[in-house]
Amino acid sequence: MLIFEINISKIKSIYKNQIKNDENFIVNYARRINYFGIVVLTNCTSNKLLKEICSVAECYLLMSSPKFETIKSVLQMGVKKVIIPEKDIKNIDQKISKNIIIARITLQKKLLLNSNLINLKEDLQEIFNQVNPYCSEFLIDYEEEFNIDQSTLLEIIKIVSSFNQNSLTFLVQDSKITNEIERMGVNPLISSRELIEEKEMINIFKSVINFQKHEGLVPTIVRDDHNQILMLAFSSPDSLKQALVQKEGIYYSRSRNSIWIKGKTSGNYQSLCQARYDCDQDTLLFTVRQFGVACHLQRYSCFGNKEFKLSDLYEIIQDRILNPVANSYTSKISKDEQLIIEKIKEESNEVINYTNDENLVWEIADLMYFIMVLMAKKGIKLQDILNELWSRRNFGN
């Protein structure tokens, strides 16, 4: 799993002119990263910026404070996990689930220069043992001006892997070794003092994929942006590059022995939202927005018909509000917030006074509909609700 650092203070310092002319400069950069991996934010002091980044990318946050309310607040904004320095781990409130905590261990230059690898293993193992009860993952980095050579870095990873069973992320300053680190079962955290160009992200992503297992191709699972599985295809190095560059569903057709642009002849094309690879780096997962059907038999999915989810209902409601339709009840009622609230009160009462199980299902459906109308009118997304529930889930509530 590729992880890219975004150091907010450095970006603002280096790219102040671009940021001045484009207030979404950093958010758009995070959106580009999300095609390839996870974002780790450092030096982010703006809650508004944090929430905007979390809305476009899967985001971890490096924090200096393990305070209960601070961690709860960033989870509500959409942060998936928080990274805490190992010296502060024990200060974390025990109500906070260890599943969202990544312990940050910073290697000191002095320690590496004055210690052989045997002593280093003992020192690191002691640190890991001390913080292991408080976290679910580890991040190892090193002092900013300390450049660890490739052989030492790989040796340290081997040492840690010999006693650590948890997920491990390691800071790398040379993206050329990301594939080797991935082969060792470790997530590379790619550090950059400047923005990484998208073509470099594509090269990094491609370099990790193992195309040799299946004679130059890798299976590619395709799902839509509501998480329904659509199809299984294959990707070659060239088709993968084209897909990532053009942000489309582009694959390799084994029957035609050529690049296959989904929808070029049928019109049922796919807009690529995200690409990920599996733990063995030999299978891809594409998340796409499907236009039309994905199956050649005119089914929405090669595995069946389109599933109906709350996210579909929300999108329909949102569209009726933004683009009113004549005779649409949703378009009509959404104009009056007080009327929506009255309907929620009415439906809540009917839920409480249900007559049987079938009636309860009916009344809950009505209540959920009106709640979602209010959400869409106020610009509250389903993900905002999930973020709130996610924060509660990780605080023992």
Q: For residue range 72-121, what is the model confidence (pLDDT) as tens digits?
A: 899 999 999 999 998 888 888 777 888 999 999 988 766 665 556 667 78
Distance separating alpha carbons of residues 218 and 221, to the nearest angstrom? 10
In a domain, 212, yes or no: no
> Do the domain assignments include residue 250?
yes
| Chain segment 371-397, per-residue pLDDT in tens | 999 999 999 999 999 999 988 888 755
Give the model's confidence band at 145: pLDDT under 50 very low, under 70 low, under 90 confident, else very high: low
Residue 296 lies in a domain: no
Q: Mean pLDDT, to the nearest integer, of 218-234?
A: 95
In angstroms, rounded to a whole number, what is the distance separating the alpha carbons of residues 67 and 388?
18
Positions of E strands within the chain = 3-7, 38-42, 59-62, 81-85, 101-107, 137-142, 167-172, 187-190, 218-224, 229-235, 250-253, 258-261, 270-277, 284-290
Digit-coded pLDDT (tens) for 188-198: 998 877 788 99
Provide the number of structural domains found in the chain. 3
- The answer to whether position 209 is within a domain reads no
Gap between the Cα atoms of 378 and 370, Å rounded: 12
Q: Could you tell me if 115 and 188 lie in one domain?
A: yes
Same domain for 191 and 324?
no
Same domain, 231 and 360: no
Q: Nearest to residue 89, comparing CAs of 38, 132, 45?
A: 132
Residue 307 has, within 13 A of its CA and on its CB side, a CA count of: 14
Taking the whole predicted model, whether its pTM rises above 0.85 is answered as yes
Query: What residues make up the domain containing 343?
Result: 310-393
Q: What's the rounded Cα separation, in Å, for the pair 345 and 347? A: 6
Instruction: Judge whether 210 lies within some domain.
Output: no
Please check the confidence at residue 5 and state whether its pLDDT lies above 60.
yes
Q: Does 295 map to a domain?
A: no
CATH of the domain at 376: 1.10.287.1080
